[in-house]
Amino acid sequence: MSERSTESVSRKVDEIYRHESRRVYATLVRLLGDFDLAEEALHEAFTAAMEQWERDGIPANPVSWLVSTGRFKAIDTIRRRTRYDQSQEELITRLEGIAELNADKLDTEVEDDRLRLIFTCCHPAIAPNIQVALTLREVCGLTTEEIASAFLTSPSTMAQRIVRGKSKIREAGIPYVVPTHVDLPERLDAVLTVIYLVFNEGYSASSGDTLTRGDLSEEAIRLARLLIELLPDPEAIGLLALMLLHESRREARATSDGELILLEDQDRRLWDRDKIREGISLVERAIGSGEVGSYTIQAAIAAVHAGARASAETNWTQIVSWYDLLFQANPSPIIELNRAVAVAMRDDAAAGLELIDAIFARGDLTDYHLAHAARADFCRRLGRSDEARAAYERALTLTKQSSERRFLEKRLQEVINAGLSET
């Protein structure tokens, strides 16, 4: 095969890995019943793809090919490891028995396997903080560092949680199935939390050079749609609305060279009106159910932003009212911070600064870069240059995202320059 053809196959394999590897992995977990074996089989399958697709061409159904190849690789691995262990013969026989499933049936199974895997990882026998971490790692392929950042904890602590979660599934024999409709509602909260955290990592990456990761956002939206088909719960509908409304602004959130653009400065002509229409329709549907939860309230806030033709026309009074309701439903320092920003937009920077200082005075959010960035902005607007400079510098020590860092550095330099011009 020519060098150009080899490069073409390599690019295709990389593309399939980025977009489909977690689908393949989820199905391998179901078929093999072991996370580590499935992970090993996944990588062996993609290695085989690089070799065989160069020679034989890319198959019509790459996902099914990868699942089948991964399954056979796992069988070979088990045979090598248990050559003299007769107790493993039953497992090998079972795997061989399903190896000839036809591609159409296999593809249908693959489509639902990530949802099955989410509910397995969110089983009630697993501690809630482990449920979310395990699902983000195993279903969506986030790194331990990315998950730790989302939870504001250390990578070593998060790694221990993930190991404990996998051990619990293995030791307790937790089944790889979607719960019955009787058990489904009580399992929903953890699943919604997982989906939202996946979306957040895709919408605003916690670290790295890229502001957003569209693949993760798309995955979260797809999983939410699957979940609503299974259980049209108002909060699941509200979550989908929230994600669609946020996602509608993706193209306007950064310049062509990756520089961050704040909501108030975005070109609203770039917002995706189809997503906005669907999102607002879903918000109305969720609110109309009479069961208004935190995701639905957040979606309602996003809908107010989406409905404003220009930043100056944003109804901040309505947004503050929604934040008041949100805090009643789910009191947290993050919600207080977001409400403080809304109050500052409704009233003035001094009002917002007072609220943020009260949060810090309690010892909350002291290691959260966005809280310091918000305080810096309020101080900048109030002409308190020294405080603004200190807050920007503190935010910079905490942020791990390159585009956010460049934005904060730019604002810090503006404050420094303004201070020099005054002397």
What is the predicted pLDDT for the residue at 376?
97
What is the predicted pLDDT for the residue at 319?
98
| pLDDT digit string, tens, across residues 319-335 | 999 999 999 988 999 99
Helices 35-56/3-32 angle, 10° precision: 150
* Cα dist from 230 to 81, 151, 195, whole Å: 40, 28, 15
Asked whether 49 and 82 are in contact (CB, 8 A), the reply is: no
Asked whether 242 and 302 are in contact (CB, 8 A), the reply is: yes
Give the residue extent of every domain in the chain.
1-111, 122-173+181-219, 232-331, 356-423
| pLDDT digit string, tens, across residues 254-285 | 888 878 899 999 999 999 999 999 999 999 99
Helices 294-307/234-247 angle, 10° precision: 30
3-class DSSP state of 262: coil
DSSP 202: H
What is the predicted pLDDT for the residue at 100?
47
Residue ranges of the chain with per-residue pLDDT less than 50:
1, 99-107, 208-209, 211
| pLDDT digit string, tens, across residues 210-247 | 545 677 788 889 889 988 887 789 999 999 999 999 99
Confirm whether pTM is higher than 0.85. Answer: no
* Cα dist from 41 to 19, 32, 70, 148, whole Å: 17, 10, 5, 26
- Give the C-alpha separation, 124 to 362, whole Å: 33
Nearest Cα residue to 285 out of 274, 271, 300, 273: 300
- Give the C-alpha separation, 121 to 115, whole Å: 10
* Cα dist from 80 to 45, 88, 296, whole Å: 17, 11, 52
What is the predicted pLDDT for the residue at 89?
62
